[in-house]
Amino acid sequence: MPIPLVSAITDSLTLSIDGAGTWWTLAQLTGPDGISPVSKGWLGLEVSPLTCATCLNRVSAAPGFATFQIPATPAVTLLPGGWTYRLHGFRFTKDDKGFEPVPGAPEVCVVYGKEPMAPRQAALIDLNLFFSGAYGIHADEALEHPRIASVIEEFNAVWAQLGLSVRAIRAYDLPPGHEDVLSTDGPDDDLSALFAFSAGKPPGIGIFFVKTLLVSHTDLPGGAVVLGLTGSVPGPPLVGTRRSGIALSLDLQTGMPDGLPLTAAHEIGHYLGLFHVSEAGGSPADGLPDTADGDKSNLMYFAQNPESTGLTDDQGWVVHRSPWVYPPGLEAP
Amino acid sequence: MCVSLRWLLAPLAVLAFAPQALAADVPQGLRAWLRAIDTVPTPDVLRRASKRCEHDLDAVARDPSEGIYLRHRAISFLSMLPSAEAESRLTAWLDKAPGATDAALRETAVLAWATGPGRRDVAKALPKLLPLLDDPVAGVRAATARAAVLVSRPRDARAHLVARLAKEQDAKVRAALERAITTATNARNH
């Protein structure tokens, strides 16, 4: 499929795929020079279609509503002219053996980037915080609650390295019944129901505070607890979709220090387009030239670690191309 | 001199008989997956990370010297492995006597069991879970209410949830039951 013509005044775009009931990823992306930052045939080379770690432009699949940032690395240039892409829809097989293709014709939305920004340029983001009532935390006093206040404090401290700070913070209560997320894809999954509450709110990254967070797929038996989960990497460029948000578990984080603030900063990194600098399985991860595999000092290290707070220039380059990041003096996108 | 030597040897003897951490030998590859913030391995990946995967996960879950997140992750990972040993070890967490372990670990076990064995074998899912609606620990009862609608035929749980609600006194468990009843009512059995 062709992407409507890329002009010379932007250096990035965000491609979103809306197709309920199926996981979506980019099977191929080719520029006007014939080079494919998402290479043809990668699905046959990787262990799973969930992430292309061998693609120059990293892509990560998501269920129902998937989003891809192009470029996701300064090593790729968004040349003006015609770009084409191919999509791949799939699902987990019920026998625990792997994945199978699913045909479909999703809707595609393209959001073009703003004018280029420097990797550490001063910039703003807006946050919409949603409270499930877990641990007795409600919107009216949430910003004074020590755990929530520390999330904002940590965000500003960590992301200040790249010039980012929070401009607007809005807090909302969720209706009863959303304290736990126990299913994360499928026709009526908890995560999509949660993120749907971002609809109609002002533009901002939705952060949902729940008690328990269990990753459980409709087609694959079993469930695993996690500390946080972003709807997709990167997050959708608009509110109200079934992947528009970050869920954070208030459980299992307590300790000295509380892991919640760093988990929140890490998940926001995913939402702004960053991948892990290394994965638990040891596979190559973000593909950025200036991040080191296994760097425990980086915010995007895969495991919780109080020392994981660093960010690099190339990571700054990526997040400054997120639709959610805007320069002072402009309105939120 | 002899007395001094005896006092020196005594602590060494104590060390020799000190209990070894249950999960001391768990491979680093499996530990890495347990520590991950937001990623979940497939069953195949877990098997590659440990040759004795079920044993190692259970060892981490039972070891009080391990971090609380790792213990909960280990229990939940057992639900992902489609083996009789994984099911047996996970089921043992449901069967632990109240007070024999941290109640929160049993809550995670209940939820994980429902998404794993509870989905693989429809016939035995509710018969195993529903007795836990009468567990003495409120958190386990609440987790069971939520778990009963995670299995493959959630509508079958509705009558049992309604019956339990009629005698439940704990406000949080009542709220969990009410939510589960709504889910069961609206669910398509799949």
Residue with tokens 């990497």: A233
Q: Which residues of B lie inside 8 Å of A (Cβ-Cβ)? A: 29, 32-33, 35-45, 49, 67-69, 72-73, 76-77, 79-82, 104, 108, 111-112, 115-117, 119-120, 146, 150, 175, 179, 182, 187
- Return d(Cα A59, Cα A287) in angstroms, integer: 11
B16 inside domain: no
Q: Report which of B60, B67, B98, B140 is spatially closest to residue A306, judged by C-alpha positions.
A: B67
| Same-domain check for residues B86 and B118 | no
Rg of the Cα atoms in chain B: 21
Distance of CA A169 to the CA centre of its chain: 19
| Same domain for B107 and B131 | yes
Tell me the DSSP string of A172-194. Answer: EEPPSS-SEE---SSTT-HHHHH
CATH architecture label of A123-319: 3-Layer(aba) Sandwich (3.40)
Q: What whole-number distance in Å separates Cα of residue A16 and Cα of residue A29?
A: 14
Residues A79-96 as b/e (b if ≥16 CB within 10 A, e otherwise) read: eeeebebebbbbbbeeeb
Tell me the two tokens of residue A36: 């494919």
In-domain check, residue B165: yes
The minimal CB distance from B77 to the residues A182, A224, A263 is found for A224
- ipTM of the prediction: 0.92
Q: How many CB pairs (< 8 A) connect A and B?
A: 121
CB contact under 8 A, B111 and A228: no
pLDDT tens sequence for chain A (333 residues): 777 766 766 888 899 999 988 999 999 999 999 999 999 999 988 878 999 988 999 999 999 999 999 999 999 998 988 899 999 999 988 766 678 999 888 888 888 776 788 899 999 999 999 999 999 999 999 999 999 999 999 999 999 999 999 999 999 999 988 999 999 988 788 999 999 999 999 999 999 999 999 999 877 889 999 999 999 999 999 999 999 999 999 998 766 578 999 999 999 999 999 999 988 877 767 889 999 988 999 999 999 888 999 999 999 999 999 999 999 877 777
Q: Of B79, B84, B40, whose CA–CA distance to B61 is shortest? A: B79
Q: What is the pTM of this model?
A: 0.92
Residue B4 lies in a domain: no
Nearest Cβ partner for B38 among A216, A229, A253:
A229
Instruction: Extract the tokens encoding B113.
Output: 């069991």
Please provide the distance, in angstroms rounded to a whole number, between the alpha carbons at the two ends of chain A.
27
Q: How far apart are CA A254 and CA A251, in angstroms?
A: 7
Distance CA A156, CA A164 (A): 7
Cβ A250 vs Cβ A211: under 8 Å: yes
- The distance of B147 to chain A (nearest Cα, Å) reads 9
Whether residue B2 lies inside any domain: the answer is: no
Q: Is A216 within 8 Å of B35 when comparing Cβ atoms?
A: no
Domain that holds residue B32: 23-95
Among the partner-chain residues A176, A188, A302, the one whose CB lies closest to the CB of B36 is A302
C-alpha pair distances (Å), A127 with each of A130, A155, A243, A283, A324: 10, 11, 16, 32, 10
Claim to verify: residue B118 and residue B147 sit in the same structural domain:
yes
Q: Domain residues of chain A, as ranges?
A: 2-112, 123-319
Report chain A residues whose CB lies below 8 A from the CB of B108: 212, 225
B95, B129, B148: which is the final residue of a domain?
B95
Q: Are A221 and B115 an interchain contact pair (Cβ–Cβ within 8 Å)?
A: yes
Residues B72/B105, Cβ–Cβ less than 8 Å: yes
Task: State the DSSP code for B155.
Answer: G
